C-alpha cells in the first residue's frame, strides 16, 4: 500500500534512487532507509522525523494543534521539512543543493545536528 501516493500522504519526503526511480520501502538486506546512517541512532531518528515531516517544526505543530511557534527561527513564516532542507539560513548546505537522494539528506543531517532536533531535552520545561 505504501507505493500508492494517496496512502503515503502529502507530508512524506519523496526521495529517489541513484537511477532516478522513486525510493521504495523495503526491508530486504536491512532495507534502504537505515543503511546510509550506519550505527548513528541520532541521525537515524532525525532522518525519519524529516522524511515523515513528524518533527519538532512548525508544520508539525500546526497539524497537531501544538501551541508552539509555527514560524522558523530564521524569520520565515512557514517551517516545514522543505524549508529546513532547502532554504533555512540557520543550516549549512552546498549552493544549489537539492535533497534528491537519501544519502544527501543524511549528509545534511550530519552537518547540521540541530536540524529536526528538539530544542530542549524531552521531559524538560
Higher pLDDT, 123 or 5: 5
Cα–Cα nearest to 73, from 98, 95, 97, 56? 56
pTM above 0.85, yes or no: no
Residue boundaries of the structural domains of the chain: 5-111
Q: Where are the alpha helices (DSSP H) in 13-65?
A: 41-52, 58-63
Average pLDDT over residues 3-17: 66
Question: 11 or 107: whose pLDDT is higher?
Answer: 107
- How high does pLDDT run on average in the chain? 80
List pLDDT tens digits, range 63-93: 999 999 999 999 999 899 889 999 999 999 8
Amino acid at each position: 500500500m505504501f507505493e500508492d501516493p494517496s496512502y503515503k500522504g502529502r507530508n512524506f519526503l519523496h526521495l529517489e534512487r541513484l537511477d532516478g526511480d522513486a525510493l521504495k520501502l523495503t526491508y530486504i538486506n536491512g532495507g534502504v532507509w537505515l543503511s546510509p546512517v550506519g550505527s548513528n541512532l541520532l541521525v537515524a531518528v532525525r532522518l525519519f522525523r524529516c522524511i515523515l515531516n513528524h518533527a519538532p517544526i512548525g508544520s508539525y505543530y500546526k497539524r497537531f494543534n501544538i501551541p508552539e511557534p509555527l514560524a522558523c527561527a530564521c524569520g520565515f513564516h512557514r517551517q516545514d521539512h522543505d524549508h529546513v532542507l532547502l532554504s533555512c539560513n540557520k543550516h549549512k548546505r552546498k549552493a544549489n543543493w537539492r535533497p534528491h537522494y537519501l544519502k544527501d539528506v543524511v549528509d545534511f543531517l550530519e552537518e547540521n545536528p540541530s536540524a529536526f532536533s528538539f530544542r530542549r531535552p524531552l521531559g524538560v520545561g
